[in-house]
């Protein structure tokens, strides 16, 4: 759908809504955007027709949200979106407007909204057996765990099914401590590993912290961030796009990697006992804005941790299930073998499920006492998970992630070279971060109000983004893996239009 048609629709809807000043201000902003954006392409076609919205009016929905939903559940956008239906890479609001979803329910909808194969599998199982718990055998749990285990290297073959990434990481912490008989776990600053009382000790982003004791025995170490950190160059990371920082390393060496390893050694020497329980890291940091480490860093870090008696935990909640393109699991891109792997989000394409995978000897240490999860291994969850794995393979989504993701990264890098406020473009496959700055020299975060304006403009032009980073200075792009090259080109053009409008407004203000 063209921008002109979208704007005309907004104007028509505005006339129906009457003389509400906030709506009028929004419509005026939409008209300004229409006049300045100058998009040259239209939204890619979609032959799906959403059902007519028949629930409460928008204003009543908003009042219920304010009165009955916890205020900690924040909404995006000045006028929160009321979404009604989804189809593959597309979302539809209550008025029928279509959006290209580049955030996938926070990097969760891997194979596409309401993917027909996954939907059919869930509907069939709902008519057969909803829940009995894992204290009984049922076909789905055995079939799914066998299928999932086949996608992991030996000796990672024992699977615990849970309901969320926080639960999975909480269980991984318990496993590490039970197996090693040690307590301290090391994590990166900037990492996100969950919001439970235990995993908040591993989550090292201030906005998630509360003024209560959490996560005893969790120690942070410096994040090896080659753009924001003190060291980094133009050859550090495993990505089609490198930083704009200079690199003076000799062939085959990485000065930044060595310096960050020294920081980890310092943490081991000063902050923890001689024996530790483990180390947890995302192969690429998700909530922090697709932050990547220097190549070879994780391999050396794993060696140092194991020398202290610790186990190595790979948090694949956002990087797993083919999203990085080159590999099915993010840790494979680092050439490492973890002792424990946690996964969620894309595992169920939005269905609440998660898993912890480990080695037999670590699993045995937890079997000395009871560990039970009522809904882990639920029949519907297992059937959904199995259908997701089938869809990834049958639809070629890992390969698509690599192809479309690489194209997106390179196109966004062209915008980085054109606009001073894009400091860094990074990522791998369909896990991309675009870090916004005041200017490339200072690398200071773009002010929040300017970030929000670009964010809002992209939405108004039909593209939904995510935000992340310590200062919410990074746009997160993690769409359903079924996204096409045409979709990607449209998204880049929309982002370009929003940046152009920002540049025009900034020039006018001066």
pLDDT digits (tens, 9 = 90+) for 106-126: 999 999 999 999 999 999 999
User: What is the pLDDT, as a whole number, of residue 19?
Assistant: 35
DSSP 452: H
CB atoms within 10 A of CB 436: 26
CB atoms within 10 A of CB 223: 22
Contact call for residues 499 and 339 (beta carbons, < 8 A): no
**3-state class (DSSP) for residue 463:** strand
Contact call for residues 241 and 207 (beta carbons, < 8 A): no
Nearest residue to 249 via CA among 235, 229, 263: 235
| Alpha carbon distance 182, 281 (integer Å) | 18
Q: What is the pLDDT of residues 3-28, one digit of tens each?
A: 444 444 443 444 343 334 444 555 56
| Cross-strand pairs, 464 | 101
Pairing assessment for the beta strands 98-101 and 90-93 based on DSSP bridges: antiparallel
Residues 6+ apart with CB under 8 A from 388: 110, 111, 115, 118, 321, 346, 347, 348, 349
Question: pTM here?
Answer: 0.93
Per-residue three-class SS string for 376-440? CCCHHHHHHHHHHHHHHHHCCHHHHHHHHHHHHHHHHHHHHHHCCCEEEEEEECCEEEEEEECCC
Pairing assessment for the beta strands 431-436 and 422-428 based on DSSP bridges: antiparallel
Q: Is the dihedral of CA 338, 341, 345, 346 positive or negative?
A: positive
What does each C-alpha distance from 82 to 75, 93, 94, 459 come to in angstroms? 10, 6, 6, 13
> What residue ranges of the chain have pLDDT lower than 50?
1-23
Q: Which fold has domain 116-394?
A: 3.40.640
CA dihedral of 269, 274, 275, 278, whole degrees rounded to 10 = 0
| Cross-strand pairs, 477 | 432
| Size of the chain, expressed as the number of residues it contains | 510
- Cis amide linkage into residue 155, ω under 30° from 0: yes
User: What is the pLDDT, as a whole number, of residue 266?
Assistant: 98
User: What is the pLDDT, as a whole number, of residue 507?
Assistant: 87
Query: What are φ and ψ of residue 506, in 5° steps?
Result: -65, -40
Contact call for residues 260 and 430 (beta carbons, < 8 A): no
CB atoms within 10 A of CB 77: 12
**3-state class (DSSP) for residue 15:** helix
Span(s) in the chain for CATH 3.40.640.10: 116-394
């Amino acid at each position: 759908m063209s921008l002109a048609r979208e704007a005309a629709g907004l104007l028509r809807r505005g006339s129906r809504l009457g003389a509400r000043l906030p709506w009028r201000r929004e419509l005026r902003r939409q008209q300004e955007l229409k006049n300045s954006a100058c998009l040259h392409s239209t939204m890619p076609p979609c032959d799906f027709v959403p059902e007519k919205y028949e629930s409460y009016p928008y204003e009543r929905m908003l009042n219920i949200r304010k009165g009955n939903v916890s205020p900690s559940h924040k909404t995006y956008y000045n006028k929160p979106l009321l979404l009604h239906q989804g189809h593959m890479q597309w979302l539809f609001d209550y008025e029928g407007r279509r959006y290209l979803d580049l955030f996938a329910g926070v990097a969760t909808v891997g194979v596409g909204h309401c993917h027909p194969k996954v939907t059919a599998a869930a509907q069939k199982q709902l008519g057969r057996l909803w829940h009995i718990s894992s204290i009984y055998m049922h076909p789905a749990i055995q079939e799914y765990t066998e299928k999932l285990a086949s996608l992991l290297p030996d000796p990672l073959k024992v699977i615990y099914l849970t309901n969320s990434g926080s639960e999975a990481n909480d269980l991984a912490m318990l496993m590490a401590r039970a197996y090693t008989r040690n307590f301290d776990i090391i994590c990166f600053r900037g990492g996100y590993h969950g919001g439970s009382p235990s995993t908040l000790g591993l989550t090292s982003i201030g906005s998630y912290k509360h003024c209560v004791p959490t996560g005893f025995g969790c120690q942070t170490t410096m994040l090896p961030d080659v753009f924001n950190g003190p060291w980094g160059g133009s050859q550090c990371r495993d990505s089609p796009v490198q930083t704009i920082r200079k690199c003076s390393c000799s062939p085959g060496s990485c000065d930044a990697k060595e310096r960050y390893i020294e920081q980890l050694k310092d943490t081991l020497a000063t902050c923890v006992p001689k024996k530790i329980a483990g180390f947890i890291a995302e192969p690429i940091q998700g909530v922090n804005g697709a932050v990547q480490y220097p190549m070879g860093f994780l391999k050396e870090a794993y060696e140092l941790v194991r020398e202290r008696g610790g186990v190595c935990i790979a948090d694949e909640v956002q990087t797993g299930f083919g999203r990085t393109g080159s590999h099915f699991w993010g840790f494979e891109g680092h050439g490492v073998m973890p002792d424990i792997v946690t996964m969620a989000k894309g595992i169920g394409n939005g269905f609440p499920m998660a898993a912890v995978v480990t080695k037999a000897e670590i699993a045995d240490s937890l079997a000395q006492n009871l560990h039970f999860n009522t809904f882990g291994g639920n029949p519907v969850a297992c059937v959904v998970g199995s259908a997701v794995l089938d869809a990834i393979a049958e639809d070629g989504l890992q390969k698509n992630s690599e192809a479309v993701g690489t194209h997106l990264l390179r196109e966004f890098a062209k915008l980085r070279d054109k606009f001073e406020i894009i400091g860094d473009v990074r990522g791998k496959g369909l896990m991309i971060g675009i870090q916004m700055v005041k200017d490339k020299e200072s690398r200071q975060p773009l002010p929040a109000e300017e970030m929000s304006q670009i964010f809002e403009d992209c939405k108004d032009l039909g593209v939904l983004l995510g935000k992340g980073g310590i200062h919410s200075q990074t746009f997160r792009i993690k769409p359903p893996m079924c996204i096409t090259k045409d979709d990607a080109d449209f998204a880049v053009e929309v982002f370009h239009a929003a940046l152009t409008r920002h540049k025009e407004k900034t020039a006018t203000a001066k």
